[in-house]
């Protein structure tokens, strides 16, 4: 049995993009970060939220991670197509993050936790990377 990954099919990827566009004003009305800050976007998938965040925060650097390499490739392709230079992508497991403690000013996580077997442990893992 194949593990479910959000956005794995083209139909699902299209749906996620549409969902992000429709909900952007509700979800991202306050998704503005201080210029020069760093944000870990956990579970970026195909980049549906990434493109909105990057556009609204041109002076912020996003490190967007996902466990699925194919989703990351789609996300990176979309960010490149849009011409954003403030996002880097990295394959990573939210339960075993490859970042040092206190690495990021902020963490952004949207439509991810409900798909994880242990959201509490995921949040603990993310918290470790957050600057205090």
Q: Which of 12-21, 42-51, 91-100, 123-132 has the lowest mean pLDDT?
A: 12-21
Check whether 5 has a pLDDT greater than 70: no
At 4 the pLDDT is 47
At 19 the pLDDT is 57
CA atoms within 13 A of residue 130's CA, in its CB half-sphere: 13
Please give the torsion angle defined by the CA atoms of residues 15, 108, 47 and 52, in that order, rounded to the nearest 10 degrees.
80
CA atoms within 13 A of residue 21's CA, in its CB half-sphere: 6
| CA 76 from centre of chain | 11
- pLDDT tens, position by position, 49-81: 999 999 999 999 999 999 999 999 999 999 999
pLDDT classification of 31: cutoffs 50, 70, 90: confident
- For residue 77, what is the domain's CATH number? 3.40.50.150
Provide the domain count of the chain.
1
Task: State the pTM of this model.
Answer: 0.81
Residue 5 within a domain: no
- pLDDT tens, position by position, 84-127: 999 999 999 999 999 999 999 999 998 899 889 999 999 999 99
Structural domain of residue 18, as residue ranges? 10-129
At 2 the pLDDT is 41
Cα distances (Å, whole numbers) of residue 105 to 7, 46, 70, 78: 28, 23, 27, 25
Residue 27 within a domain: yes
């Amino acid at each position: 049995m194949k593990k479910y990954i959000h956005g794995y099919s083209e139909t699902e990827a299209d749906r996620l993009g549409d969902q992000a566009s429709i909900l952007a004003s509700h979800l991202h009305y306050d998704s503005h970060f201080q210029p020069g800050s760093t944000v870990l976007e956990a579970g970026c998938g195909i980049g549906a939220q990434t493109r909105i965040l990057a556009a609204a925060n041109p002076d912020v650097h996003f490190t967007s991670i996902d466990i699925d390499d194919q989703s990351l490739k789609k996300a990176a392709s979309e960010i490149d197509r849009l011409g954003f230079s403030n996002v880097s992508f990295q394959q990573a497991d939210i339960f075993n993050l490859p970042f040092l403690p206190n690495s990021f000013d902020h963490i952004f996580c949207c439509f991810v936790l409900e798909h994880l077997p242990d959201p509490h442990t995921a949040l603990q893992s993310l918290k470790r990377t957050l600057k205090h």
